[in-house]
Structure 1
């Protein structure tokens, strides 16, 4: 099989020396990739510089990315070149990316300049005006290579990133798609319910639902949910990897 795996966590630049990221190490993605490789499959591995990765080998192709935009562009390029048998989307993708950054003084100056245009506005008019003003301020071009640290407060504008999982089925209709959902401190019932919702919404074949509070070192409880609502549970990263590989292989054989 030809497998594409995303792993690690994206970063979003604030300036040339600072960024926002998450704590994903890519360890689970690495083990999944290694398990597929051990079965003789070809793996295209999309990952970040900070994440761990499998050792270089003949059937492994590494595609490095940094931001969510990089990820989107890299996937579109790969999808244009290859019809993958399966896409395993384990990467922790940033929900938001940086739009612009302003010092407290710059923000107050820009917002004040807009507010003086109003004369005795109603509450609704003021809300609409503020929404418009913040949207315009958010479009301020951030061209400093390193933002000065002299201000007491730094205001960071963030805008929503596209949902990468939402495009997988459209771009790879033939692929067996495995998505991942991480929650924190929820019941198993809620974890499964949310996982099923994500699966149905994004037309995945499987979702691996897990809770951050159950992840400690190699201990990693994961619940694999299929399109019929059936679940299988694993207790370690290695077990999760075997569960995913076995289910993808079985579904692939049944499709032939």
Structure 2
């Protein structure tokens, strides 16, 4: 099942993508693709519906972030060994955790704003994991039972603010529009092995990232178990699991960063694609 949110910013409606790629409205079934609506029993009820019985959405509406009312947007750093190498950093012995502010969340095809004064805005295609069943001290053996589904995330990053301005990585990760999510939340039953997914990113048609989740250092059950020791995980929390090599910062001999007027395209096998145009922040 592919769940989505469509409509104007701040007024998105819940929807479902049918087998013909058309949007079906879910507003009579669920208030939003968010929070407790992502619990296993609620998803099972949605899965039991006949998509043909749901109202067909006309036209080509804007696609919003596939999860609403996100409580925590948790990110994992340096979770691909080859990306750690290109960044000149040691492979971590434990997951590196940082956060993106929820004000960074935007739709998968919304514009990405280059912050004022920035010359080091970068891209990162990542597999997103959405929590459906909350918990603390979750056992790794049953951690995947807590997953509602998966999505595409672009962990846009301003490297100067991340690495050169003191403090934690959060500063460079949380600018407005730095968290495109979607287009779909693909439920767990449709992703038999989340550790065998190709993921890629292009800028202006040039492919920079071309990796596979099989090379994750810390796999999804490990991450969920580890995070649940640090904090309670709640329905609708989003975990961005790290990026493969090919980020602009790692390009040799000269790093490449984003400028206004460029187009990013990125996707993950079975989870859909995103497309963003970069613009200068007002």
Give the TM-score, by structure 2 length.
Answer: 0.24
Structure ranking higher in helix proportion: 1
Structure of larger gyration radius: 1
Q: Which has the higher contact order (CA 8 A, sep 6+)?
A: 2
